[in-house]
Copies of this chain bind each other. A is one copy, B any other.
Amino acid sequence: MPKETPGTLLSFRPAIKVIDATLRDGGLVNDFRFSDDFVRALFAANAAAGVDYMELGYKADRDLFDPAKFGAWKFCREQDLARVLGENKTAMKLACMADVGRCNFRRDICKKSDSILNMYRVATYINTIPAAIEMLEYCDKLGYETTVNVMAISKETEKEISLALEMLGKSPAKAIYIVDSYGALYPEEMRILAAKYLEAGDKYGKEIGIHAHNNQNLAFANTIECVAAGVNYLDATVNGMGRGAGNCALELLLGFLKNPKYKLLHILKFLEEGHMQKLRAEGAVWGYDLAYLLTGVFNRHPSSAIRYIKEGRGDITAFWQELLDQE
């Protein structure tokens, strides 16, 4: 892989790619019930803003998840994508996430020439990497770009991460993602991890990506720390919409990046039009909150905090005690 200089605060790296994951990670908080209008408006805003990839949702197995209980973006069937987006005549590429074990990829993923999609992003835990590699190879053979997201690494040992990077280095994935599923990592830990991933990236010719969560209000900070280290694939979502405390906000990220192709104004326009407020009015809840701070500090899955907030609890000291009792 030809090396680029990391850039400075006044220069920029053309190799940087911004991936808008609003429909995918955001879909986790509204069961993927985005209106066609929302999706079209977001598509237009992202394309105008210079976003490189827009992730449309998951390729979930309809035998495992009841289609009556979710919006179309949980499944990303080609007919739904075509109905809402038609042909993609923009420079922006389209992506879809496929979860190991939750996707019938041999049945549901068609060849690239029959699809509006450009890229599959395979999400895996560290113990399912062989299955992830099988999916990456399958998608690659069908003609798609692929990336791989190794989730929940704040729970893994350095040795396990090294082994994972060695295995994924030999896969067709063009980028390997650092994923802080629990929002537990601090910027100085991010720098150490980024260096480790980038070393493997150099060895195997892979790009490195970052997918951050905002449990300790560090999603944006951790993302730009990774940029400073040389990470090029950057996930973000509008208003940080995503599971629990949410993700790195796209508007913050585009405000930071100096690449002239990125135009924050189009995301501001999208926000001004009230699309995100409408989702909140419909009941979608996300964003930094005390309960997420605690699951972040304790390096735990945010599920208990999500439940705490759903139940409208305010007894944060009791919640702290519950987390402590599980140590």
Contacts and interface: CB of A to CB of B under 8 A. Distances in A.
Interface of A: 9, 186-189, 216-218, 220-222, 224-225, 228, 249, 251-252, 255-256, 264-265, 268-269, 271-272, 274, 290, 293-294, 296-297, 314-317, 320
Given A216-B220, A271-B290, A290-B268, A255 B297 contact: yes
A10 B296 CA distance: 16
Given A293-B252, A293-B255, A297-B255, A320 B268 contact: yes
Contacts of A252: 216-217, 293
Copies in the complex: 2
A220 B220 contact: no
B216 A272 contact: no
Nearest to A8: B188
A249 B317 contact: no
Nearest to A277: B314
Contacts of A255: 216, 293-294, 296-297
A265 B317 contact: yes
Given A9-B186, A225-B187, A256-B186, A265 B320 contact: yes
Given A9-B186, A9-B188, A272-B314, 16 more contacts: A9-B189, A186-B224, A187-B224, A187-B228, A188-B225, A216-B255, A217-B220, A217-B252, A220-B221, A221-B222, A264-B320, A265-B320, A268-B320, A272-B316, A272-B317, A274-B314
A293 B315 CA distance: 32
A249 B297 contact: no
A252 B221 CA distance: 14
Nearest 10 Cβ contacts at the A-B interface: A221-B221, A255-B297, A268-B316, A188-B228, A272-B316, A268-B317, A269-B317, A217-B220, A272-B317, A218-B221
Interface of A is mostly: helix
Contacts of A187: 187, 221, 224-225, 228
Nearest to A227: B188
A272 B314 CA distance: 6
Contacts of A293: 251-252, 255
A293 B248 CA distance: 14
A44 B297 CA distance: 24
Contacts of A268: 290, 316-317, 320
A281 to B, nearest CB: 14
A264 B321 CA distance: 12
Contacts of A251: 290, 293
A186 B8 CA distance: 12
9 contacts: A186-B256, A187-B225, A187-B228, A216-B252, A251-B290, A255-B294, A255-B297, A271-B290, A272-B316
A252 B217 CA distance: 8
Nearest to A315: B272
Nearest to A249: B217
A275 to B, nearest CB: 13
A193 B222 CA distance: 19
A226 to B, nearest CB: 11
